[in-house]
Amino acid sequence: MPTFVTSLLGIFSLLALLLCYRASLDIADSLSPQGCRMSWMSPSYVQQQGFNLSWSPLARRYSLWLYREVGWDSVQETGQRTDSLPVIFIPGNAGSSHQIRSIASSATRHYYSSPYVVSPAFASRSLKPLDFFAVEFNEDLSAFHGSTLESQIAYTSQAISYILSFYPLGTKIIVMGHSMGGIVATSLFPSSNISAIITMSTPHTLPPARFDSRIDTLYASLRTSLEEDATPIVSLCGGATDMMIPSDSCILPKSSKGIFRRTVFTSALEGAWTGVGHREMVWCHQVRWRVARAALELGGARRLASRAVILDKWLRDGHALPLEASSLDQDGNLEISDPSKLEVLQIGQNLVLKNPSVSKTYLLPVDDSASSGRLTVFVSQGRISSVSPENASPLRVSVFSCTGHPSTSVHCVTQKPETLKLVPNPVPGKPFPVPHEGSDESDGVVLYEAHIPQINGHHWIGVGVNNVNGQGWIVAGLDFKTPVVSQARTFSLLFGTLSLSVPADEGLATSFMLPNMLSNALVVYRVIPHQTFMPMCSDALLPPLLMHTSHPAETHYFPLATARNRRTLLHTHLLAPFIDQTSYLSSWLNFTIYSSGERGCKREFEKFDVAIDWSATLGRWASRYITTLVCWAAGVASLVVFAAWSQQVYGAPMPSVEQSLINYTRFMFRYLLPGSLAFSILPLPRSLYMGNGGVFLLAPITPLILLIASGLVCVVWWILLLLLTVIGTSSALIFGSRIEKVGVAKRTILSLIVICAMIFVFVPWQVAYLGCWLLHLHTCASSTQYLKREISSNVSEAVPLVDHARRRDSIDSPNYPPPAIQVKGSSDTGDIKRGNANHNLHLLLLMTWLLPLTAPVLAVWVRTLLTAGYTTPFDGDHNFLAVLPFLVLTDFASWTPGALFEKANFEKKVSLRWVLVAIAGTAFLYGSRRPYLVLDVARVAVWGIVICRIGRRYWGGSSWASAA
Ligand SMILES: *[C@@H]1O[C@H](CO)[C@@H](O)[C@H](O)[C@H]1NC(C)=O
Ligand SMILES: *[C@@H]1O[C@H](CO)[C@@H](O)[C@H](O)[C@H]1NC(C)=O
Ligand SMILES: *[C@@H]1O[C@H](CO)[C@@H](O)[C@H](O)[C@H]1NC(C)=O
Ligand SMILES: *[C@@H]1O[C@H](CO)[C@@H](O)[C@H](O)[C@H]1NC(C)=O
């Protein structure tokens, strides 16, 4: 029966899991809401029959399809147009080739303004339409299984050769990959046939399911090709909204060789500004039309550099300056001597122009006395350099640094920006992004920022306004104040909030920097603006907008005018567990508030409170540490068995599982909890243990996970007990009283050979493991029945054969007297049977916790059987040696009449029970990043146990004994 401590532990962990689950469900809505418009299309798919077995042996299993927009594209037998370019789409884990439809349809409707009529934007240029091919993997579970992934890579590689055989020599293909499809795409390197790769929600640096070592090997080889291959890659990431993969792993590692590698978070993607979920990534209108457009435009680029420029232009988040703008300066030098073309502003005055109707250059004086300043320019419905919203008016604004005197002549040179991007201008009072709707293509305001150094003499900032047509607005201003810096530490937020006051003269931009705040994927901050009065700023050109740049590639925008009822949550994907990002060492919390600075809105916010948002933080922990939890529970289960075996060392009988759980709990509270906490402060490599690199503030997560894992082991034990009772009772009903198994012997070796042969030929060993587990479950059902019968018939002299106080100390005191003398009146066979029963139950607990580590491949196998049947061999996993020790052990346990384990001779010096500590140690140290190692170590350990403690008795008991 569960005791007080174990029940408490079990209930605690169930509640904690429930809380974490609730918190992680909430993440997508609170942290990074989604505003995506649905996309519509009229799809049809043409199967490529020609891509058959003579091209790839996998053609039986997979297929290749061509997308056609009904009524827009001509559907022919082969499908290809004469003058077009190919694109191939690779779906992800359990994905479908049909997912290409949104992007493909958008590309067609971009290229043709109406059926068969090429749109003017493309007719004048030599751009070609696109043929979208998609591979169909029958919703294979590629994320769990390295061999499946390898088959997909081989098939895709052949498909590309096949597709290219229909196009003129030298044609290159654009590759798009969703989720694990992105991994397939980047695994095609090196290939001279690929012009660019666009991946969507792809986990580039960390496999989402880490149960297969072959996936790790694949990722390791990807690392070098990501670093070295010259083909441009863009990775689109959905951010926290993506609940399938942590977006930390979506960030492409920087290439040291200057190769184009761009990570774009959709929260920053110009014109989208929304978090995008994992599946939504392929159909979210705001994203798909940009991807389609980028692919169309790529057709016009021959050179690598120009392909990079195009990707940079159409899939931009503004964290880097436009490649186009920085390479060629169209404005150059300018000499203005016509005073009517100039207008001079006062010092400190902002330029505010609504619906400009005169082309002019406005001069903002730079204050000689002040030190350096910051220039901020906003342009609505116009462009600066190449940056503008879609369908903008012709309005064109240029920014200059000028010298001279306005009354005579002014000499201007183009002022290089530090920031030049499109920022959203949310409608006050509406949520942002608008759910199910999102931003419009033509939304957005161009933001230009530059740092103005101090120069003596007449120095001006010129804002040139050209091509006016009475539309749009321009706001520009210089200000000379320094950012608000607070040295507060995250630690102080544990117990309260931090208030930041906003400087009296807000200007157009106010920056806040909190250099001592921990910026980590596992911490979420909440910003609460205190509003003094509420003019709602509804007529402001740009109501206050908070911009949080949390990672060099990630930016979030929050309108403050609508945030009164909404939490403004600041999170980041910088420094996430298990991901090596040593290149970004600075971890500040920075944010900036922009506004057009009109009088009404100016003093709206007096101060901000910054606090830790615990609910969102908990949700982030939950989504990062599920694998860790499973592996640690396996480690705990192995420590429970260790606790039992330790008692046995001193001669005590094998305790019951309940007793071992209690022993373990005492052991945990005494050593493991403090130990795990201390260990998590060590600066270990990020692939080990908790993957935090020893960040002090994150250390408390470790004991929490240990507690939950221990509680889960207790809960699973209760479930097993229930299961055993049910099985025991029902089999007793069916077969009457338990039939003692005798003389199964000769059959054993034969069946072992048959099973091994089956594993060798087609069943993966994971299936055999499941079989072992089931067999053992059955054995244990008999064991529990036996124990129960014994207890009920022997109530007076029940289980505690050793008195309680001594048993408790048994782990700690090495001089524990052998209690065998104390056992009175118990027959030898009763002892052996009881010992075997308890051994069996302990083994069952351990084997149950190893089951989740094999489950993914089991799922893949079943899935492959269902979709492909036996048409293709299921590669890998046929090593019967991997499961043989479990087969022998569970088989032996099911029939042995003698003791299950007999100590080997050498155990007087070193006890074999330490192999269990090795399993636990591996689980704790490597479990999160390389769970398959736990299984490897467990396998070796069980080999050891079988050889040393069962050894010849297995064969002896079977063939010879029965023959004799
Ligand atoms: C594959 O298709 C090609 C062309 O349709 C055909 O010539 C060839 O015989 C096919 N091969 C097989 C194995 O079906
Ligand atoms: C590129 O495609 C051609 C077919 O057009 C094929 O023969 C060649 O093997 C491919 N190259 C690579 C590296 O895949
Ligand atoms: C915050 O700003 C400082 C100063 O500009 C910079 O060094 C740091 O990298 C920024 N931190 C982040 C996370 O962007
Ligand atoms: C009760 O237990 C003793 C040993 O502890 C054993 O000898 C005896 O046979 C048991 N009684 C029954 C009815 O099983």
Render pLDDT for 424-453 as a digit per residue (tens, 0 to 9).
998 877 888 888 888 888 889 999 999 887
Q: d(Cα 762, Cα 357) in Å, to the nearest integer?
A: 77
Domain carrying residue 346: 334-479
Ligand (nearest to CA of 194) = 2
- Domain membership of residue 448 (yes or no) is yes
Q: If you measure from the C-alpha of residue 66 to the centroid of ligand 3, how many angstroms do you get, rounded to a whole number?
A: 46
Question: Among 105-109, 530-534, 915-919, which stretch is predicted with the lowest mean pLDDT?
Answer: 530-534
SS (H, E, C) 388-448: CCCCCCCCEEEEEEEEECCCCCEEEEECCCCEEEEECCCCCCCCCCCCCCCCCCCCCEEEE
For ligand 4, atom 1: residue with the closest CA: 794
Residue 255 has pLDDT above 50, yes or no: yes
Looking at residue 376, what is its pLDDT? 93
Supply 508's token pair. 């157009």
Ligand 1 atom nearest the C-alpha of 53 is 13
Q: If you measure from the C-alpha of residue 737 to the centroid of ligand 4, how many angstroms do you get, rounded to a whole number?
A: 18
Per-residue pLDDT reduced to its tens digit, 50-68: 999 999 998 988 999 999 9
Question: Among 283-287, 373-377, 748-752, 936-940, which stretch is predicted with the lowest mean pLDDT?
Answer: 748-752
Ligand 2 atom nearest the C-alpha of 193 is 1
Residue 92: pLDDT band with limits 50, 70, 90: very high
Looking at residue 740, what is its pLDDT? 47
794 CB within 6 A, ligand 4: yes
Residue 77 has pLDDT above 70, yes or no: no
584 CB within 6 A, ligand 3: no
Ligand (nearest to CA of 825) = 4
54 CB within 6 A, ligand 1: yes
Looking at residue 924, what is its pLDDT? 95
Looking at residue 874, what is its pLDDT? 63
Into how many domains does the chain fold?
Answer: 4
Q: Torsion angle, CA of 864/869/873/874, rounded to 10 degrees?
A: 20
Residue 669 has pLDDT above 90, yes or no: no
Co-location of 59 and 11 in the same domain: no
Co-location of 665 and 778 in the same domain: yes
Residue 814: pLDDT band with limits 50, 70, 90: very low
- Domain membership of residue 820 (yes or no) is no
Residue 561 has pLDDT above 60, yes or no: yes
Q: d(Cα 17, Cα 11) in Å, to the nearest integer?
A: 10
Looking at residue 538, what is its pLDDT? 62
Ligand (nearest to CA of 823) = 4
Co-location of 594 and 661 in the same domain: no
Quick one: DSSP state of residue 345?
P
498-501 β-sheet, strand order: 498-501, 605-612, 525-531, 568-570
Q: If you measure from the C-alpha of residue 50 to the centroid of ligand 1, how many angstroms do you get, rounded to a whole number?
A: 6
Residue 324: pLDDT band with limits 50, 70, 90: low
Planar angle of CA 638, 644, 645, nearest 5 degrees: 90
716 CB-side CA count, 13 A: 23
Tell which of 462, 479, 496 closes a domain: 479
192 CB within 6 A, ligand 2: yes
Co-location of 831 and 943 in the same domain: yes
Q: If you measure from the C-alpha of residue 137 to the centroid of ligand 1, how many angstroms do you get, rounded to a whole number?
A: 21
Calculate mean pLDDT across residues 771-783: 89
Residue 547: pLDDT band with limits 50, 70, 90: very high
Residue 202 has pLDDT above 80, yes or no: yes
**In sequence order, what are the residues at sequence separation of 6 or more whose Cβ sits closer than 8 angstroms to the Cβ of residue 251?**
204, 205, 235, 237, 263, 551, 553, 573, 579, 581
Q: If you measure from the C-alpha of residue 81 to the centroid of ligand 4, how many angstroms do you get, rounded to a whole number?
A: 87
Co-location of 247 and 304 in the same domain: yes
734 CB-side CA count, 13 A: 6
Residue 218 has pLDDT above 50, yes or no: yes
Tell which of 479, 510, 528 closes a domain: 479
Looking at residue 75, what is its pLDDT? 63
Looking at residue 886, what is its pLDDT? 93
Q: Kindly tell me the burial class for residue 38, based on how many C-beta atoms sit within 10 Å of its own C-beta (0-12, 13-18, 19 or more).
A: exposed
Planar angle of CA 773, 777, 783, nearest 5 degrees: 140
Supply 268's token pair. 């920053």
890 CB within 6 A, ligand 3: no
Looking at residue 564, what is its pLDDT? 56
Co-location of 174 and 243 in the same domain: yes
Residue 950: pLDDT band with limits 50, 70, 90: confident
CATH of the domain at 184: 3.40.50.1820
Residue 811: pLDDT band with limits 50, 70, 90: very low
- Going by their DSSP bridges, the two strands 117-118 and 43-47 should be labelled as unpaired
Q: d(Cα 846, Cα 851) in Å, to the nearest integer?
A: 9
Residue 583 has pLDDT above 60, yes or no: no
Looking at residue 322, what is its pLDDT? 78
Calculate mean pLDDT across residues 796-810: 42
52 CB within 6 A, ligand 1: yes
193 CB within 6 A, ligand 2: yes
For ligand 4, atom 7: residue with the closest CA: 826
Express the helix, strand and coil content of the chain in percent, nearest 5 each: 40, 20, 40
Mean pLDDT of the chain: 84
- Domain membership of residue 528 (yes or no) is yes
Q: d(Cα 206, Cα 216) in Å, to the nearest integer?
A: 9
Computed over its alpha carbons, how large is the radius of gyration of the chain? 34
Contact (CB, 8 A) for 614 and 285: no
191 CB within 6 A, ligand 2: yes
Contact (CB, 8 A) for 365 and 462: no
Planar angle of CA 855, 859, 860, nearest 5 degrees: 120
154 CB within 6 A, ligand 2: no
Q: If you measure from the C-alpha of residue 447 to the centroid of ligand 3, how many angstroms do you get, rounded to a whole number?
A: 19
Ligand 4 atom nearest the C-alpha of 825 is 4
Calculate mean pLDDT across residues 586-601: 78
Residue 805 has pLDDT above 50, yes or no: no
Termini Cα distance of the chain = 44
Residue 506: pLDDT band with limits 50, 70, 90: low
Looking at residue 799, what is its pLDDT? 44
For ligand 3, atom 11: residue with the closest CA: 588
872 CB within 6 A, ligand 2: no
- Domain membership of residue 366 (yes or no) is yes
Q: d(Cα 504, Cα 605) in Å, to the nearest integer?
A: 10
Calculate mean pLDDT across residues 305-333: 77
Q: If you measure from the C-alpha of residue 786 to the centroid of ligand 4, how many angstroms do you get, rounded to a whole number?
A: 12
Q: If you measure from the C-alpha of residue 203 to the centroid of ligand 2, how many angstroms do you get, rounded to a whole number?
A: 27
| Nearest one of 539, 530, 540, 376 to 463, comparing CA atoms | 376
Q: How remote is the C-alpha of 562 from its chain's centroid?
A: 30
Residue 365: pLDDT band with limits 50, 70, 90: confident
Return the axis-axis angle of helices 828-868 and 765-793, rounded to nearest 10°: 150
Co-location of 585 and 668 in the same domain: no
Please indicate whether residue 744 or residue 658 has the higher confidence score (pLDDT).
658
Q: If you measure from the C-alpha of residue 167 to the centroid of ligand 2, how many angstroms do you get, rounded to a whole number?
A: 12
Most confident of 334-343, 460-469, 745-754: 460-469
Q: Given the structure tokens 């201008």, which residue do they identify?
A: 425
- Of 826, 831, 833, which is best to mutate to test ligand 4, by the most ligand atoms within 8 angstroms of its C-beta? 826
For ligand 1, atom 8: residue with the closest CA: 54
- Domain membership of residue 770 (yes or no) is yes
Co-location of 435 and 496 in the same domain: no
Contact (CB, 8 A) for 135 and 152: yes
Backbone φ and ψ for 161, nearest 5 degrees, come out as -60, -40
Ligand 3 atom nearest the C-alpha of 552 is 14
Tell which of 479, 506, 534 closes a domain: 479
Co-location of 425 and 357 in the same domain: yes
Supply 485's token pair. 């810096």
For ligand 2, atom 2: residue with the closest CA: 161
Calculate mean pLDDT across residues 816-827: 42
- Domain membership of residue 665 (yes or no) is yes
CATH of the domain at 369: 2.60.120
What is the pTM for the complete model shown? Answer: 0.90
Residue 147 has pLDDT above 50, yes or no: yes
Residue 818 has pLDDT above 60, yes or no: no
Quick one: DSSP state of residue 387?
B
Ligand (nearest to CA of 170) = 2
Ligand 3 atom nearest the C-alpha of 586 is 9
Per-residue pLDDT reduced to its tens digit, 368-411: 766 678 899 999 999 998 888 988 889 999 998 888 888 888 88
- Domain membership of residue 898 (yes or no) is yes
Co-location of 589 and 659 in the same domain: no
Please indicate whether residue 384 or residue 793 has the higher confidence score (pLDDT).
384
- Going by their DSSP bridges, the two strands 351-354 and 473-479 should be labelled as antiparallel
Supply 760's token pair. 């060798």
Contact (CB, 8 A) for 860 and 141: yes
Q: How remote is the C-alpha of 742 from its chain's centroid?
A: 53
Co-location of 141 and 285 in the same domain: yes
- Domain membership of residue 216 (yes or no) is yes
Express as a percent the part of the chain with pLDDT over 70.
87
